[in-house]
């Protein structure tokens, strides 16, 4: 049994790594590099690392200071949310991820799901904010960490996607006013960095709001992110619309479908499918870009990490801290990418063209 | 049934349709032929407003075709169109391709729409493919589905825009057979085609177009055996 396996391994190696002298040479170099890098890393992370103790213990050791992560994880993940009622953001995040998990099956995409999302959003807002049903109120300013990052990015995606669809349709519209508005919107928003939009939302927007209407900074940042994402999303979707042959439009017209019937039943289902990879690409980019809200002092995941690093008694463990958030970001981004590949396969089933 | 009066159309500076006059009675079968670029496709595409004419008056079944969306939609409900490249909806099954317009445009209940769709599929002899996707069918099958899709809207008029010219030769006959059957049932048809055999067999009239104008209108026997116009003679000598 073992001999068969080693034989298989041998032929696999020969075929994939050592097929030609040049390939063998490259393989040997790469294997050496991987070995040289990963062995010290594993040594640092797992063997020499300090799992419990104080900063002083960490400084004596050569390895990673995981005690720092243990100490600061709560703050990095949840910011200044009151410690006694931490279960509320935890439950919120779990509910949220659970709902995403539930929503990932295309056969569940209907109006009911939309309603469930609305209800869940309300429930999460209630859990986070409190103030009724005997829940202690927590000011929005104290929200932070993972719930904030998830909220900014996923609510951003949730709203910017349909908005992007309308903008893309508008930009291809034959009505000059609608078309002009969409072109100006998209070009204007794409023409400025997200940071400047966030600044505007945090500093300038309050001047334009009617007296007495005070929107929390978080909400203003959320709006800025939605506005920004929508411009990018619309260009991706416009690419999809342009890829649909003219004949599809004509066939729909010829059958007497109205504009909205034509778009929702014929054109968009095909166009959105074509642009799944760039759409998810944009979403992943936006997910990471939400960390820019730290510029207006919102405590998203990256900002809480930075603040954790400023703790005077735990100075000097930035590698561990950034590695920790990197892993969290990676888990979400990687899942999105993997999910998009699955969707592509699913939507192409049965369709050969 | 259809009347075109002094229709003119330009693409920029290019004059595609020049004073086109054509009258089609109920139940008439018209074959339109002519060299490429002569405006024959453009003309029939004007009838259901896939193209817009700039001058002249076009009425379909008594409805004046103008910029009024209501009129356009009414006309489109009465006029079925079959395209050169079938233009089936690739993301829907054959059955859904057929039932979509009846359900959404005519508000036919789903069960009824499906029942009727299957009958039409049966008529074009592909009822067994109802749950497949367009991409899984041959060109000839796809074009027959496209015809059935139009018929599901119970049109009074059918327009065919070179329905067989994108097909492999061995599939042309199956599509023409369906069209011939349709003609025999008394459907009003306008067909842009170079299938002269089909024209001889079913057409009441052949319309020959050149450079945006109707050059000759004649019954098929006369047209093929004794064309009147120089341009028609030249055209026929090249294709026959």
Q: Could you read off the pLDDT of A238-262 as tens digits, one per residue?
A: 999 999 999 999 999 999 999 999 9
Interface of A with B in 270-289 (CB under 8 A): 270, 273
Helix (H, G, I), strand (E, B) or coil at B40: helix
Using the beta-carbon criterion (under 8 Å), do A254 and B81 form an inter-chain contact?
yes
Using the beta-carbon criterion (under 8 Å), do B105 and A255 form an inter-chain contact?
yes
Query: ipTM of this complex > 0.90?
Result: yes
Tens of pLDDT, residues B160-173: 999 999 898 889 99
| Integer Cα distance of B75 and B63 in angstroms | 7
Distance from CA of B6 to the nearest CA of A (A): 24
Q: What is the pLDDT, as a whole number, of residue A351?
A: 57
Q: Is the pLDDT of residue A316 over 70?
A: yes
Write the CB contacts of A207 (distance below 8 Å, at least 6 apart in sequence).
none
Distance from CA of A211 to the nearest CA of B (A): 45
| Integer Cα distance of B111 and A249 in angstroms | 26
In chain A, what's the furthest Cα-to-Cα distance?
Answer: 81
| Integer Cα distance of B102 and A261 in angstroms | 12
**Which residues in chain A are contacts of B79 at CB distance < 8 A?**
254
* Residue B67 binned pLDDT confidence (cut-offs 50, 70, 90): confident
Please name the member of B101, B135, B149 whose beta carbon is closest to the beta carbon of A257.
B101
Helical (H) or strand (E) element with A326: helix A318-348
- Angle between helix axes A176-190 and A156-171 (nearest 10 degrees) is 130
Nearest to B31 by CA among B203, B227, B223: B203
**Which residues in chain B are contacts of A248 at CB distance < 8 A?**
87, 89
Residue A150's beta-bridge partner residues?
none
**Which residues in chain A are contacts of B73 at CB distance < 8 A?**
256, 258
Using the beta-carbon criterion (under 8 Å), do A265 and B85 form an inter-chain contact?
no
**Which residues in chain B are contacts of A266 at CB distance < 8 A?**
89, 100
A67 in Cβ contact with A57 (< 8 Å): yes
Q: What is the pLDDT, as a whole number, of residue A298?
A: 81
Q: Among A174, A247, A256, A344, which would you mutate to test the B interface (most chain B Cβ atoms within 10 Å of its Cβ)?
A: A256
Size of interface A-B (CB pairs under 8 A): 72
The answer, for A256 touching chain B at a CB cutoff of 8 Å, is yes
* Residue A3 binned pLDDT confidence (cut-offs 50, 70, 90): low
Please name the member of B100, B132, B150 whose beta carbon is closest to the beta carbon of A265.
B100
Tens of pLDDT, residues A325-336: 899 999 999 998
The separation between the first and the last C-alpha atoms of chain A, rounded to the nearest angstrom, is: 45
| Share above pLDDT 70 across residues of chain A, in percent, rounded to a whole number | 97
| Span A116-140, average pLDDT | 83
Within A17-136, where are the H helices? Answer: 21-42, 55-60, 66-78, 87-103, 111-129
* Residue A349 binned pLDDT confidence (cut-offs 50, 70, 90): low
Distance from CA of B230 to the nearest CA of A (A): 35
Nearest CA in chain A to B155: A255
Higher-confidence position of A3 and A74:
A74
Q: Is the pLDDT of residue A209 over 80?
A: no
Please name the member of A247, A273, A352 whose beta carbon is closest to the beta carbon of B135.
A352
Distance from CA of B117 to the nearest CA of A (A): 15
Q: Is the pLDDT of residue B156 over 50?
A: yes
| Span A335-349, average pLDDT | 86
Angle (nearest 5°) at CA B67 between B66 and B72? 75
Nearest CA in chain A to B77: A256
Strands B2-11, B55-60: pairing is antiparallel
Q: What is the pLDDT, as a whole number, of residue A353?
A: 45
Distance from CA of B202 to the nearest CA of A (A): 24
The answer, for B165 touching chain A at a CB cutoff of 8 Å, is no
| Integer Cα distance of B42 and B53 in angstroms | 9
| Span B74-92, average pLDDT | 93
* Residue A320 binned pLDDT confidence (cut-offs 50, 70, 90): confident
Q: Is the pLDDT of residue A350 over 60?
A: no
pTM over 0.90: no
The answer, for B91 touching chain A at a CB cutoff of 8 Å, is yes
Q: Among B51, B76, B82, B91, which would you mutate to test the A interface (most chain A Cβ atoms within 10 Å of its Cβ)?
A: B91
Q: What is the pLDDT, as a whole number, of residue A109?
A: 84
**Which residues in chain B are contacts of A261 at CB distance < 8 A?**
104-105
Cβ-count burial B130-157 (b if 16+ within 10 Å, e if not): bebbbebbebbbbbbbbbbbbbbbebbb
| Integer Cα distance of B48 and B72 in angstroms | 7
| Integer Cα distance of B199 and B219 in angstroms | 10
Distance from CA of B2 to the nearest CA of A (A): 17
Task: Give chain B's mean pLDDT.
Answer: 92
**Which residues in chain A are contacts of B133 at CB distance < 8 A?**
350-352
Please name the member of B79, B89, B132 whose beta carbon is closest to the beta carbon of A266.
B89
Q: What is the pLDDT, as a whole number, of residue B32?
A: 94
Tens of pLDDT, residues B170-195: 899 999 999 999 999 999 999 999 88
B39 in Cβ contact with B32 (< 8 Å): no
**Which residues in chain B are contacts of A255 at CB distance < 8 A?**
76, 100-101, 105, 149-150, 153
Which strand ranges, in their side-by-side order, compose the sheet holding B14-24?
Answer: B14-24, B2-11, B55-60, B63-64
Q: Is the pLDDT of residue A117 over 90?
A: no
The answer, for B231 touching chain A at a CB cutoff of 8 Å, is no
The answer, for B150 touching chain A at a CB cutoff of 8 Å, is yes
Higher-confidence position of B155 and A50:
B155
Q: Which CATH class is domain A48-346?
A: mainly alpha
Distance from CA of A262 to the nearest CA of B (A): 10
Q: What are the structure tokens assigned to A20, written together?
A: 């030609």
**Which residues in chain B are contacts of A352 at CB distance < 8 A?**
133, 135-136
Using the beta-carbon criterion (under 8 Å), do B87 and A251 form an inter-chain contact?
yes
Using the beta-carbon criterion (under 8 Å), do A254 and B149 form an inter-chain contact?
no
| Span B105-118, average pLDDT | 94
| Share above pLDDT 90 across residues of chain A, in percent, rounded to a whole number | 30
Nearest CA in chain B to A261: B104
Task: Give chain A's mean pLDDT.
Answer: 86
The answer, for A209 touching chain B at a CB cutoff of 8 Å, is no
Using the beta-carbon criterion (under 8 Å), do B91 and A270 form an inter-chain contact?
yes
């Amino acid at each position: 049994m073992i001999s068969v396996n080693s034989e298989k391994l041998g032929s696999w190696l020969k075929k994939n790594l050592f097929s030609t002298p040049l390939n063998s040479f490259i393989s040997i170099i790469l294997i050496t590099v991987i070995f040289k890098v990963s062995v010290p890393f594993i040594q640092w992370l797992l063997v020499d690392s300090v799992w419990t103790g104080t900063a002083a213990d960490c400084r004596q050791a050569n390895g990673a200071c995981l005690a720092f992560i243990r100490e600061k994880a709560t703050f990095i993940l949840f910011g200044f949310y009151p410690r006694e009622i931490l279960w509320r953001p935890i439950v919120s995040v779990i509910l949220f991820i659970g709902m995403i998990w539930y929503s990932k099956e295309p056969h569940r995409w209907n109006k009911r799901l939309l309603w469930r999302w609305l209800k869940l959003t309300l429930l999460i807002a209630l859990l986070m904010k409190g103030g009724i049903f005997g829940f202690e109120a927590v000011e929005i300013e104290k929200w932070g960490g993972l719930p904030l990052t998830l909220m900014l990015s996923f609510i951003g995606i949730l709203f910017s996607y349909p908005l992007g669809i309308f903008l893309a349709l508008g930009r291809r519209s034959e009505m000059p006013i609608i078309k002009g508005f969409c072109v100006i919107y998209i070009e204007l928003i794409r023409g400025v960095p997200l940071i400047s939009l966030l600044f505007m939302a945090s500093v300038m927007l309050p001047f334009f709001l009617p007296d007495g209407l005070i929107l929390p900074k978080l909400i203003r940042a959320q709006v800025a992110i939605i506005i920004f994402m929508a411009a990018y999303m619309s260009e991706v979707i416009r690419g999809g619309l342009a890829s649909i042959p003219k004949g599809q439009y004509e066939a729909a017209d010829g059958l007497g479908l109205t504009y909205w019937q034509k778009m929702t039943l014929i054109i968009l289902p095909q166009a959105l499918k074509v642009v799944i990879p760039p759409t998810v690409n944009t979403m992943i980019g936006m997910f990471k870009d939400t960390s820019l809200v730290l510029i207006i002092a919102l405590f998203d995941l990256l900002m809480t990490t930075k603040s954790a690093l400023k703790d005077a008694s735990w100075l000097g463990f930035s590698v561990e801290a950034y590695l920790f958030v990197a892993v969290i970001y990676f888990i979400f981004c990687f899942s999105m990418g993997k999910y998009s590949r699955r969707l592509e396969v699913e939507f192409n089933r049965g369709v050969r063209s | 049934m259809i009347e075109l009066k002094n229709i003119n159309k330009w693409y920029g500076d290019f004059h595609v349709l020049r004073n086109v006059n054509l009258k089609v009675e109920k139940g008439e079968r018209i074959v339109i032929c002519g060299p490429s670029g002569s405006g024959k496709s453009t003309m029939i595409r004007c009838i259901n407003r896939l193209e817009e004419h700039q001058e002249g008056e076009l009425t379909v079944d008594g409805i004046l075709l103008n910029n009024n969306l209501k009129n356009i939609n009414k006309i489109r409900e009465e006029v079925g169109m079959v395209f050169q490249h079938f233009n089936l909806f690739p993301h829907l099954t054959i059955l859904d391709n057929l039932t979509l317009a009846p359900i959404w445009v005519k508000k036919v209940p789903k069960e009824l729409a499906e029942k009727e769709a299957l009958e039409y599929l049966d008529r074009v002899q592909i009822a067994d493919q109802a749950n497949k996707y367009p991409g899984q069918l041959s060109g000839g099958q796809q074009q027959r589905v496209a015809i059935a899709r139009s018929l599901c809207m119970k049109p009074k008029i059918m327009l065919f825009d070179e329905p067989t010219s994108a097909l492999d030769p061995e599939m042309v006959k199956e599509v023409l057979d369906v069209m011939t059957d349709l003609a025999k049932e008394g459907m009003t048809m306008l067909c842009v085609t170079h299938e002269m055999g089909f024209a001889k067999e079913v057409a009441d009239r052949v319309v020959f177009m050149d450079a945006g104008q109707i050059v000759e209108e004649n019954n098929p026997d006369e047209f093929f055996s004794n064309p009147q116009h120089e341009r028609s003679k030249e055209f026929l000598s090249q294709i026959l």
